[in-house]
Structure 1
Amino acid sequence: MMYAQFASVYDELMLDIPYPVYVDLIDTALNGLMDKKILDVACGTGILSVFLAERGADITGIDLSEEMLTIAKERSKDRFPALTFLHQAMQQLDVPDKYDAAVIPIDSLNYLENLQDVSDTFHRIYEALLPGGLFMFDVHSTFKTDILFMESPFTYDSPSISYIWETDEGEEPHSVHSELAFFVRKDDECYVRFDEVHYQRTFPIMQYVELLEKTGFSVERIFADWTDDAPEDESERIFFQVRK
């Protein structure tokens, strides 16, 4: 995946994500965010990091993309200069502190293509948490990867950005290969094209549960689609709330 240009359009593409709901979910699970140390894994451009900092949390963000982190640092530098951002892959997470909570938001875990990388990530996060620490993440459902993502092409059009998104089944079960052509409008009203290739894979819910429990986590609840409801056959986004 090429991140340099994708980072420049990421914020607009995330406009429909209800980040405040994610903040409320973490807030409720921690009984308050003030002075809590939270690890924002795959933090992207720092949108969730800043929302959490606004509620008094002490945030460390990590991401694989230096370009994303550059935007995150710019976003936070005036209001929250103490925020820390580290360039790391989640499955190689290595932080010096211990945290009250860790979060992998917005299906970022689905960029790991095999169970070993998922397991390594869970173990790294477990070691980074204080006893009783919270771990929350969300993933695509198998229904979304196997059915909904196969209904491409998808299109998006705004005054500044347009894209055409085509998908195919990946080589592994419950995986999707995406090719996106972006057209970004410049000040002279011309458009510049760049292309992205993304590969995501998810796993059945019980495979995640087995890995989590093998790591040492206790599963508190599993819910779907930004609600308190349990996952159903056609749920699209599955949330896990677990505890060390």
Structure 2
Amino acid sequence: MKGKEWYQADDVAKEYDSKRFSRGGRLIDSREKRAVVDAVGPVEDRDVLEIACGTGRFTVMLAERGANIVGLDISNAMLAQGREKARRAGVADHIEFLRGDAARLPFPDDHFDAVFAMRFFHLADTPAKFMAEMARVSKDIVFFDTFNGRSTRVAYNWLLPMGSHLYSRSQVDRLLEDAGLRLEADEHDFLLPYGFYRKIPNGIAQGFRDLDTSIGSTAVGDALASVSYWTATVKGDNRR
């Protein structure tokens, strides 16, 4: 089963958070949330769009921080989980969950203060079109992550061929340039495989995470990083 079909399955949505972000996976969850917060910045009373919001991990987090946020996803099952999560957190009035196509966003130009997508571009079949749409509806910030083509993810793709796309720095640069975006910041995170973290308790996983972090602070770690986080802004001469 390819990644997009797997992602939309009802049984996957029901167990997505508990399987991926329990035990040692909580370290990955906290790292990703910190990356989003650092990139998007203060969000109180700001309009934010999350592409491929899934079960609302980030959507709900930003709503709790005061954002007016829209979460868009292709999976009805994932959106149902997100709505329930927002209801339990008491922030349903700050979130609108929509089913939609990231290649044809149903919003006018310059509609959001920030647009972001996490764990999305490795499944993107038309990344340039998706990036152009994110840039079109953002007044300012566009934030996303990619998996690195020189990382251990290469072995993962070979063992579990779900159609994941791995990116080089030059490919990311081209996506940004073609979408009229300027790169403002990038971070590169050396990670042991996600599946490894999910198999071990959080207390044990912390030691390995410390090792990942120390490797990631080196030039070698940057070059072989599993995950890269990219913060871009709309170029002044491309504002509509």
TM-score under structure 2 length normalisation: 0.73
1:45 equivalent among 31, 48, 55: 55
Separation in 1, partners of 2:169, 2:106:
27
Residue ranges of structure 1 left out of the alignment (5+ in a row): 153-166, 168-176, 178-197
Q: Map 1:158-169 to 2 at 5 A.
A: 167=160
The partner residue of 1:220 within 184, 188, 202 is 184
Deviations 1:151-199 (A, max 9, x none): x4xxxxxxxxxxxxxx2xxxxxxxxx1xxxxxxxxxxxxxxxxxxxx32
TM-aligned CA deviation for residue 56 of structure 1:
1.2
Q: Partner letter of residue 92 of structure 2?
A: P
Specify whether residues 50 and 119 from structure 1 end up closer, same or farther in structure 2 by C-alpha distance, changes over 3 A only.
same
Unaligned runs of 5+ in 2: 191-212, 235-240
Which residue identity does 1:7 align to in structure 2? A
Cα offset, 1:136, TM superposition: 0.9
- After superposition, residues 112-123 of structure 1 pair within 5 angstroms as 112-113=124-125, 117-123=126-132
Q: What is residue 64 of structure 2 aligned with on the other side?
A: 54
Identical-pair percentage:
22
The match for 1:63 is 73
Is contact 1:40–1:61 with CA below 8 Å preserved after alignment? Answer: yes
Matched, 1:241 2:205: no
Alignment of 1:65-144 (within 5 A): 65-78=75-88, 79-82=90-93, 83-96=95-108, 98-105=111-118, 107-113=119-125, 117-130=126-139, 133-142=140-149, 143-144=151-152
1:58–1:19 distance in 2 versus 1, CA, 3 Å:
farther
Distance in 2 (CA, whole Å) between partners of 1:243 and 1:19 is 25
Offset from partner CA, 1:195-220 (integer Å, 9 cap, x none): xxx32112212111112112110001
- 4+ long deviations beyond 3 Å: 17-31, 147-150, 226-231
SS at match of 2:81: helix
| Matching residue within 14, 18, 37 for 1:12 | 18
Residue 200 in structure 1 maps to residue 211 in structure 2: no
Contact 1:101 1:134 in 2 (8 A): yes
RMSD, matched Cα: 2.2
TM-score calculated relative to the size of structure 1: 0.72
Whether the 8 Å CA contact 2:123–2:165 is kept in 1: the answer is yes
Residues matched between the structures, number: 194
Bigger mean CA deviation after superposition, 45-54 or 141-150: 141-150
Tell me how far 1:61 sits from its aligned partner: 0.2
**What is the letter of the counterpart of residue 63 of structure 1?**
D
